[in-house]
Each structure stands twice: as structure tokens, then as C-alpha cells.
């Protein structure tokens, strides 16, 4: 027998999967010859164009969630940037959680890439933590993986 909470979580996951399947891939065809700095510049230009067209504009009315950029401790003393998306009113019984690590092959990307998905999850009643891990090649393996593990541990504690 499933509870109302399990049913709600199943509906939430089903909806997120539908949305993700309909979203086109941002970049394709990575090779060892891919120019990472150039890809980062292209992504920054795309983000600026999106903002210029109003794609990153905040809604005129207050959304049903709160977004907060914070820094959390990493294992080697670094501070990791995370964006926490949560409902304005947290249910007393709790709500589902979601930790998001943006795509980009550990080389490109930031929290802005996953905001749309985290916002949808939060609008549906969950708390989302969007993690900005350190990028390669400036930060060599296993820094990104360690950042991800540290963020998961922080979420569990908090």
C-alpha cells in the first residue's frame, strides 16, 4: 500500500522525466580536441542572449518558492557554491529532496543550467539543491567528484 507522499513523489518524478525528455541537448559531439574555453564562451553568450530576451527574468508576482545562493564547505577548505530552491512554506511533514549536478562533462556549466529543472521540482513541492562543482581542466580529477560527494554529505546533514 502506497502513501499519499509516495504517490506525490511518483507523480513528481514522472513529470520531471517528461520535461527532461522534451528538452534538446545543449551541446553534442565532444572529443578530446574540443576547445573547452571556446565552449564556455559560447555558453556565456547563449546565457546573455537568453537574459536579453527575458528568459532569465524573474516572474512579476512572487513565485511559490525561494532561491538562495550559499556557500558550503568542501573537504579541502574550498567553498562550494550551491543554489537552494525551496517552497516558501515548508510542510511540517517534510518534502522530497533533489540534488542537481549540472551537465558539461565536468568541464563547462554552472548552476544556471539546472535552474529550470530545480524550479519545476520546487513548484511541485520539493526542495532542490543545485551544486556548482569545480571544473576541469583547472581543477584536476577527482575534484569535481569530491565536490559532489561533499555536497551530498552537506545536504544529508542539513
* Contact between 138 and 106 (Cβ < 8 Å): no
* pLDDT of amino acid 57: 55
Q: Which fold has domain 4-30+59-157?
A: Rossmann fold (3.40.50)
Please state the domain extents for the chain.
Answer: 4-30+59-157
**Reported pTM:** 0.69
Cross-strand pairs, 127: 97
Q: What is d(CA 112, CA 115) in angstroms, rounded to the nearest whole number?
A: 5
* pLDDT of amino acid 44: 76
* Contact between 63 and 92 (Cβ < 8 Å): no
Local structure of residue 106 (DSSP, 8 states): T
Q: What is d(CA 71, CA 83) in angstroms, rounded to the nearest whole number?
A: 9
* pLDDT of amino acid 75: 95
Per-residue pLDDT reduced to its tens digit, 100-155: 999 888 888 888 888 888 998 898 889 999 999 999 989 999 999 999 999 999 99
Residue with cell 528538452: 23
Crossing angle of helices 4-21 and 115-123, rounded to 10°: 150
- Please give the biggest Cα pair distance in the chain: 53
Buried b / exposed e over 56-91, threshold 16 CB at 10 Å, is eeeeeeeeebebeeeebebeeeeebbbbbbbbeeee
Amino acid at each position: 500500500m502506497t502513501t499519499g507522499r509516495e504517490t506525490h513523489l511518483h507523480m513528481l518524478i514522472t513529470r520531471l522525466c517528461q520535461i527532461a525528455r522534451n528538452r534538446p541537448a545543449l551541446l553534442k559531439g565532444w572529443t578530446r580536441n574540443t576547445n573547452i574555453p571556446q565552449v564556455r564562451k559560447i555558453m556565456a553568450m547563449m546565457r546573455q542572449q537568453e537574459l536579453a530576451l527575458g528568459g532569465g527574468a524573474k516572474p512579476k508576482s512572487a513565485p511559490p518558492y525561494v532561491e538562495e545562493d550559499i556557500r558550503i564547505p568542501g573537504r579541502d577548505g574550498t567553498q562550494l557554491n550551491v543554489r537552494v530552491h525551496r517552497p516558501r512554506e515548508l510542510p511540517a511533514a517534510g518534502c522530497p529532496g533533489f540534488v542537481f549536478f549540472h551537465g558539461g562533462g565536468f568541464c563547462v556549466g554552472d548552476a544556471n543550467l539546472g535552474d529550470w529543472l530545480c524550479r519545476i521540482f520546487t513548484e511541485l513541492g520539493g526542495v532542490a539543491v543545485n551544486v556548482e562543482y569545480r571544473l576541469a581542466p583547472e581543477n584536476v580529477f577527482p575534484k569535481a567528484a569530491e565536490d559532489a560527494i561533499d555536497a551530498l554529505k552537506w545536504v544529508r546533514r542539513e
